[in-house]
Each structure stands twice: as structure tokens, then as C-alpha cells.
Amino acid sequence: MKPDRILLGVYFLVMDSKRSMPAHFTSDKTRNQTFMVDFLPLTPDDEYNMASEAWYSMPGMKSFEELKIVLRTGEDIMIGSYILTKIGSSKLADKLMDFIIASHLGKLKPTFDEKSDIFSIEIEHLFTDDLKLIIEITPFIKKYLNHCRDFGIKKANPRSRQ
């Protein structure tokens, strides 16, 4: 499968999550903490550990609004990196991280034309001044988002990169 198709599939799987609260506080019939992402290889233990890690490793935020955006972004990066690693595509985690950050800041519009098999996306490079429109990406936030990516990869495959 082409990397663009893999990236787009994982991106939409993650972004289609219907959780309205942080994964640390979201539960369903079978799991105490959940990202509400339908991915069969995701174990309850891994989901619990990632939800807790995303919550407890959060840096201090200036406002509740900023906390919600940064936490959701970190959670989505973590679960997306986990999924990519489980399917053998962890090298796409950096690109997925850029997509998720841009999407949460309203800067990403992916399109895929199934008839022509063309994937297109407009995105600015991560951490540019334009992405500071909603939140300022401080070194602490950047470190947190990188940690979320790395933790998702590590949880999926402890011998993986990072």
C-alpha cells in the first residue's frame, strides 16, 4: 500500500474518534480509559497506559482552552503513532504528527480522489509562525507532542525507533 494511503487511513481513523473528553476520562463498556478508536490490535493495557501518559505528562498551560487543544493533539499523535507502528509504518509518524497538529489548528485540508488515486494535502511546516494563531507552540509543548509520538511508537513496539 502507498504511504499516502496509509497516512490518510490512519489520519481519518484517529480524527474520527468521538471522544468528547480526554482519553484518560473516557470509558466504554469494556475499557476504563479509551481513545474511542476502532483498531483491533489496540490492547486495553496499551490504551490505558497511553491515556494515562498523555494526561500525566501534560505541561502546564496558560488556559483551559489551550490545555484542551494541546492534550487532544497529543493524544491523537500518540494513538496515531501507535497504529502506524503496529502496521509497520512508524516512519510516517512525523508526517502524521504534522497533519494532526495542523488539523487541530484548522490548517489541514486533506483530499483523496479515489477515481484517480490522487492524494493531495496542503500543509505548512510544523511550528511555523502561522501555526501560533491559536496556541503558542512553546518548547514545552513541542517536547510534549514529541513525547506523545515517541510513547505511542514505543508502546506499539518497544524495540522500535525512538
pLDDT tens digit string along 49-108? Answer: 998 999 899 888 777 777 888 888 999 999 999 999 999 999 999 999 988 888 876 655
Amino acid at 157: N
What is the per-residue pLDDT for 34?
77
Please indicate whether residue 16 or residue 56 has the higher confidence score (pLDDT).
56
For residue 162, is it within any domain? Answer: no
Residue with cell 505548512: 124
* Residue 125 covered by a domain: yes
C-alpha cell at 150: 515517541
The answer, yes or no, to whether residue 110 has pLDDT greater than 60, is no
* Whole-angstrom distance, CA of residue 123 vs CA of residue 41: 30
Q: At 28, is the secondary structure helix, strand, or coil?
A: coil
Kindly tell me the burial class for residue 126, based on how many C-beta atoms sit within 10 Å of its own C-beta (0-12, 13-18, 19 or more). Answer: middle
Distance CA 13, CA 107 (A): 19
pLDDT tens-digit readout, 126-154 = 444 444 444 556 778 889 999 999 999 99
Question: Is 26 within the bounds of a domain?
Answer: yes
Is residue 150 situated within a structural domain? yes
pLDDT beyond 60 at 124: no
Domain span at 95: 3-156
The verdict on residue 161 lying in a domain is: no
Residue 92 lies in a domain: yes
Q: Which own/partner contact pairs does 120-127 have at CB distance under 8 Å and 24+ positions apart?
A: 123/98, 123/99, 125/98, 126/97, 126/98, 126/101, 126/102
Contact 80, 11 (CB under 8 A): yes
Number of folded domains that form the chain: 1
Three-class DSSP category at 120 = strand
Does 116 have pLDDT greater than 70?
no
Domain annotation covers residue 121: yes
